[in-house]
Structure 1
Amino acid sequence: MTVSNPQAMDLHSRIAARTARVGVIGLGYVGLPLAMAAIRGGFAVTGFDIDPGKITAIEARRSYIEAVPQEALAEAVDAGRLRASCDFDGLAECDIIAICVPTPLTAHRTPDLSYVENTGRDIAARLRPGQLVILESTTWPGTTREVLAPILEATGLTAGQDFFVGFSPEREDPGNRQFRTSTIPKVVAGEGEEASVLMAAFYGAVVETVVPVSSTATAEAVKLTENIFRAVNIALVNELKLVYDAMGIDVWEVIDAARTKPFGFMPFYPGPGLGGHCIPIDPFYLTWKSREFDQPTRFIELAGEINTAMPHHVTDRLALALDQKSGKALSRSRVLILGLAYKKNVPDIRESPSLKLMELIEARGAETAYYDPFVPEIPPTREYSALRGRRSVVWDAQVIGGFDAVLVATDHDDVDYAALTEWVPLIVDTRNVFARRGLQGATIVKA
């Protein structure tokens, strides 16, 4: 494919020469790593965010994202390759604009595109000919064409002629040190042939491998498919955990043995529920959109029901263990949640099942606290405002020993699990961390 449109030709040349300025809107787990990857690719970047705390941190050369080394951030700022601002007027200077904002669910589990729509309006207010606008936020197939492009075209400019629009799903995995943004293959698509060429040219300069697909809707569907695959398989092992537990069979032993098969099996592991910015949310974007086509998504919805029910199962298991092992009712107990982050070795608490567990356990009359070496204080959240401001307890024998039970919700590596077996009488383990380490001592119940 080639470009013949004068606007596209000019931008393509600027991309090749690395003179195009890149704007990244949303400097969180997706946006800041993307900004740094673009800088490594030779581009100058302006990052935009409505949170002044992020801007202050970047200006102070302080990284708040594990995937972005502090030294690299400081070097980019000092060299003038990275600027950060809350003033969106700077978008007019950017040739390429990547949107990396949240796409959560409403209280009724329908897509909330307000962040994308508001960002689109912010861009439209500064839109000029020759710009490439990219959506990276996960969403339902058709969003780029049906939602973002019309917002931008309300300016009177025409997509594919005056400016260009594309979609490339983010594939960040917080805490995964094996991959970084530039080494993860990037799926790309544009609205029209010239937008597609520009997308491939830009990302080809930023990442090692570009995977072009035929349409933005296809690219949007790729991201949903990846996370639905994980959600359904996690739901399967969560259900198997309940079935095998009733049979007296250890599901973790079953999975460890099954994974020795060199073909036809991929291990997934049960847990206390789903967390993170993708898996608990993304499948419902497809179930919502599928209704427009009168297509049922029973499999996906069933997986959602199973995964959503897991915190309730764990709470019941905790109550039963307290009653059987110590003769104490949950309503009269003090329970420590070990691990607030949604996955180990990261500070990310988005959609963490630990928050739901605290809410459920307290609703049954118990007192809860948490310990997490990565999360010193619970920040503001959309759903759990009552937990805001609570701080992690101190890792101390006397403090931890004052709890009737410890519920392991996140298996951080940097925890002295051996000491824990000596400090508390009851441990409810949802991650199989004690068996994996061969630890005994306290009463340990798998849940």
Structure 2
Amino acid sequence: MDAVVIGLGFTGLPTAVAAVRAGMTVLGIDANPERVREITDQRPGCGLTTVAEHDLRVALTSGRLQLRHNTEGIPHAGVYVLCVPTPADHHGRLDVSLLIQAADDVARAMRPGALVIVQSTCAPGTVDEVVLPRLAATSGLCPGLDFHLAHSPVRTDPGNVSVDAVPRVVAGHTPRCTELAVRFVGRIADQVVPVSSPRAAELVKIFENTFRMVNISLACELAALCRVQRVDVDEVLEAAGSKPYGFLRHRPGPGAGGDCIPVSAGFFTASARRHGLHSPVVDAAIAVNNAMPAHTVHRVREALAARGLPPLRRCRVLVAGVTYKPDTANVRQSAAVRVLNELAGEADVAYHDPYVPNLVLDNGTTLQSQPATAPADLVLIMTRHAAHEPVRRDDVPVFDCSSGAPVEVA
């Protein structure tokens, strides 16, 4: 194998397909046998909106992309790319258990001269302090001499931008590690941006996502201020966007979600505390984001009362759209799911989402996606999927909460 990609999720699968497109022979490995089966069978949606079905089909039928479950072992290869999840724990710190397992598996398989690229999102210091020692200890090889290690975090915008079209930051443990990593990543990405160290690369990814968290939270505060001033927040944002410098538009919503933005902000503050620093701006942004789902439900209560409608505790509520953003199948850190959990404490809840067939709530209840016409006393639109018809109901009130505040849909 030219390359082995470990983890076939939102960044691993497009990396594998891009490597095949560059002429490499690739083995994709995942710890979930069902995930391997759905990709092998090319089931609809298995590309997770980061890989086109046509591109995946071409890669598989070419024979240059092979797939297997991790229990089947990892072969020798020139390059190993680690794309496993690195979720945040309850304290906002990095959960490195899957990354450690992947590093240990690679270390047992690799031979002198191998290049290991960590593509997973990492808190500052993870590559140097966690991955490098595990690779060295398990393999018995010397980093920078016997094997090469680099970090190249991926920027993804599922459903919108191709992964290989976005510039990739790359940094190696040594200059030679950087050189080899740039050579590999340059074959699967349109542009490569080398930086001085893995810590710098880690901070690039953490900061750019924390930047978005801060500005989305600021936009949510602007929306609240506009509401009490009886001003249209979209009008303010549109006009502010006419400034040709110093302004980047972010939209308010029921809360930022996904694998990167809220997680990266947590890594930022956890890393700051670890080094005896304070991050009050980021802490405040996280607090605003965490409060948005409960705030959204509170605003729904107010909207019902203002219109003389029954309170939530007497309603069957249908939530339309539960993914963290439109036209993806990802519910991780989804504000819509958090709103659904809030509602479940006082109302009879159901949901409709063509991308999410099943959903487990915090209280253990398992729900299945219902038709948009399912019986309900109230419909809350949380995520608007552009690829599907908008929810329309004439029989019950419909509130659009996708911008964070419920607006009744006529």
Answer yes or no: same fold by TM over 0.5: yes
Q: CA deviation at 1:377?
A: 2.2
Give the Cα–Cα distance (whole angstroms) in 2 for the partners of residues 84 and 252 of structure 1: 46
What corresponds to 1:159 in structure 2?
A: 143
Instruction: Please list the CA deviations of residues 2-33 of structure 1 after superposition, one character each: whole Å capped at 9, or x if unmatched.
Output: xxxxxxxxxxxxxxxxxx61000000111000
Identity of aligned residues (%): 36
Give how far 1:114 is off: 1.1
Residue 357 of structure 2 is matched in structure 1 by: 376
Deviations 1:252-277 (A, max 9, x none): 22112222333322111111112111
- 1:32-431 to 2 correspondence within 5 Å? 32-62=13-43, 64-65=46-47, 66-87=49-70, 90-155=73-138, 156-176=140-160, 179-363=161-345, 365-378=346-359, 384=362, 386-388=364-366, 390-396=367-373, 399=374, 402-417=375-390, 419-420=392-393, 422-431=394-403
Q: How far off is 1:152 after superposition?
A: 0.8
SS at match of 1:198: helix
8 Å contact from structure 2 (residues 320, 391) kept in 1: no
Q: Aligned pair in 2 of structure 1 residues 417, 37: CA closer, same or farther (>3 Å)?
A: closer
Aligned counterparts of 2:406 and 2:248: Cα–Cα separation in 1: 23
Do the aligned partners of 1:89 and 1:126 also contact (CA within 8 Å) in 2? no
SS at match of 2:339: helix
Larger Rg belongs to: 1
CA distance in 2 between counterparts of 1:340 and 1:61 reads 24
Structure 2 CA distance for aligned equivalents of residues 292 and 351 of structure 1: 24
Residues 172 and 416 of structure 1: CA distance in aligned 2, closer, same or farther (over 3 Å)? closer
Distance 1:393 1:293, change over 3 A: same
SS at match of 1:291: helix
Q: 1:416 deviation in Å?
A: 4.3
Counterpart-to-counterpart distance in 2, 1:362 and 1:434:
18
Mapped to 2, the partners of 1:127 and 1:377 lie a distance apart of: 39
How has the CA–CA distance of structure 1 residues 76 and 440 changed in structure 2, closer, same or farther, with 3 Å as cutoff? closer
1:444: which partner in 2?
A: none
Kept in 1, the 8 Å contact 2:299–2:406? The answer is no
The answer as to whether partners of 1:232 and 1:303 remain within 8 angstroms in 2 is: yes
Q: Give, in angstroms, the shift of residue 92 of structure 1.
A: 3.1
User: In the superposition, relative to structure 1, how do residues 39 and 409 fare at CA in structure 2: closer, same or farther (>3 Å)?
Assistant: same
Give the Cα–Cα distance (whole angstroms) in 1 for the partners of residues 404 and 343 of structure 2: 21
Matched residues in 1 for 2:232 and 2:395: separation?
26
Name the aligned partner's letter for residue 368 of structure 2: R
Which moved further from structure 2: 324-333 or 210-219? Answer: 324-333
Distance 2:400 2:99 in 1: 41
* Partner AA of 1:215 in structure 2: S
The alignment of Structure 1 onto Structure 2 pairs a total of residues equal to 407
Q: CA separation in 1, counterparts of 2:226 and 2:33?
A: 50
Tell me if structure 2 keeps the 8 A contact 1:371–1:394: yes
Deviating more after overlay: 67-76 vs 36-45: 67-76
Q: Is the 8 A contact 1:62 1:70 kept in 2?
A: no
Contact 2:292 2:404 (8 Å CA) reproduced: no
Report if aligned partners of 1:411, 1:433 keep a CA contact under 8 Å in 2: no
Which consecutive unaligned segments of at least 5 residues does structure 1 have?
Answer: 1-19, 442-447
**SS at 1:92 equivalent:** coil
Q: Residue 343 of structure 1 contacts residue 410 of structure 1 at CA under 8 Å; is this kept in 2?
A: yes
User: Structure 2: how far apart are the matches of 1:354 and 1:86?
Assistant: 32
**Post-superposition offset of 1:376:** 2.5
Instruction: Write the deviation string for residues 195-248 of structure 1: whole angstroms up to 9, x where unpaired.
Output: 011001111111111111111110111101110110000010111112221222
Instruction: Output the CA distance in 2 between the equivalents of 1:385 and 1:122.
Output: 35
Q: TM-score, normalised by structure 1?
A: 0.86
Query: Any gaps of 5 or more consecutive residues in structure 2?
Result: none
Deviation per CA, 1:68-122: give whole Å up to 9, x if none.
2223222222222001111456533221001101111112322211111121112
Partner Cα distance (1:74, 1:238) in 2: 41
Tell me how far apart the structure 2 counterparts of residues 250 and 137 of structure 1 sit (CA, whole Å): 39
The residue type equivalent to 1:404 in the other structure is D
CA shift in 2, pair 1:317/1:432, >3 Å:
closer
CA contact (8 A) 1:434 1:440 kept: no
> Which residue type is aligned with residue 393 of structure 1?
Q
1:192 shift after superposition: 0.4
1:89 & 1:131 partners in 2: Cα distance?
A: 20
